[in-house]
Amino acid sequence: MNTMQPLPLSISKRWQILQLETQTELLKTLRSPGFVIPSLAFPLMFYVFFGLLFNATGGQSGQAAKYMMATYAVFGAIGPALFSFGADVATDKDKGILSLKRVSPMPISSYFVARIITAMLFALVIILSLFFLGALFGQVVMFRSQWISTLIIVLFGTLPFCAIGLYIGLSVSAKAAPAVVNLIYLPMAFLSGLWVPIQLFPSGLELAANIFPAYHLAQLALAIQGNGLGAPWYLHAGILAAYTVVFLGLSIKQFKAIDNRY
């Protein structure tokens, strides 16, 4: 048996590998219209109906459009993160692609980081599209710092959902993964107040929303506008960080268990 260890890769070589892996993941994703079209179209379509047209017929100001622009940005951004890791990693695992990458000379971290970058790129397109619709048709007005802060918060707020999706992808089969992701994604989006303002919920549901990471990400985005419910930002950020750490730890444990089988 060959016991030689591969030579350590330089930083430049690692960067080249990450670039190639990201390009591959992005190209593979773009060749899946069943994922690309719903991921990009649904948040925009829902925002047009409920954030723009509904408010226009109700005679409300741009405040409602601004509020829902933030919540639909969260809804749109976390979808690609959950599905890219939940469904795609499960498929790669079942097809043996994940095991192949594990034994190849490339760092396995490049595979996961490339997926994070791909999910963030999709989130970026969705967020900027919602910004465009809100500013042009919803009379949304914010300071430049608020636009930039909202973009950064929601973009990097996808990380906990990447970790959750990764754990799902490593834990269930490729056939079950899309259903499991939907069972988590859609109820969480509704109960977190991403579709309907959380203030319209009964008090019990409003309190229960605190257990969902999507709620805390939405509150961070809304706080930038001055529309948050008043909890300190570090509480929301701390809960999101805790979700990331816990599910990343569970994913590492699950990955090692899969690795030990082969």
pLDDT at residue 203 is higher than 90: no
Flag whether 189 is in a domain: yes
* Residue 261: half-sphere exposure toward Cβ, Cα within 13 Å: 10
> Residue 53: what pLDDT?
82
Q: Which two tokens stand for residue 128?
A: 């900027």
What is the distance, to the nearest Å, from the Cα of residue 184 to the centroid of all Cα atoms in its chain?
13
Flag whether 50 is in a domain: yes
Q: Which two tokens stand for residue 259?
A: 């690795």
Confidence of residue 55 (pLDDT cuts 50, 70, 90): low
pLDDT, average across residues 210-235: 94
Could you read off the pLDDT of 149-180 as tens digits, one per residue?
999 999 999 999 999 999 999 999 999 999 99
Flag whether 75 is in a domain: yes
Flag whether 200 is in a domain: yes
Flag whether 253 is in a domain: yes
Q: Is-contact 193 67, C-beta < 8 A?
A: no
Residue 50 contacts by C-beta under 8 Å, 6 or more apart in sequence? 68, 195
pLDDT at residue 5 is higher than 60: no
The three-point CA angle 81-84-87 to 5° equals 125
How many Å apart are CA 151 and CA 124, to the nearest integer?
8
Could you read off the pLDDT of 23-47 as tens digits, one per residue?
998 998 888 888 888 889 999 999 9
Scanning the structure block, which residue is given the tokens 């109820």? 187
Flag whether 230 is in a domain: yes
Residue 181 burial (10 A CB sphere; 0-12, 13-18, 19+): buried
What is the distance, to the nearest Å, from the Cα of residue 34 to the centroid of all Cα atoms in its chain?
18
Flag whether 7 is in a domain: no
Flag whether 224 is in a domain: yes
- Containing structural domain, residue 189: 12-260
Residue 107: closest CA among 234, 20, 166 = 20
Percent of the chain, pLDDT > 90?
64
* DSSP H helices in 96-196: 97-103, 108-137, 144-156, 159-171, 177-191
How many domains is the chain built from? 1
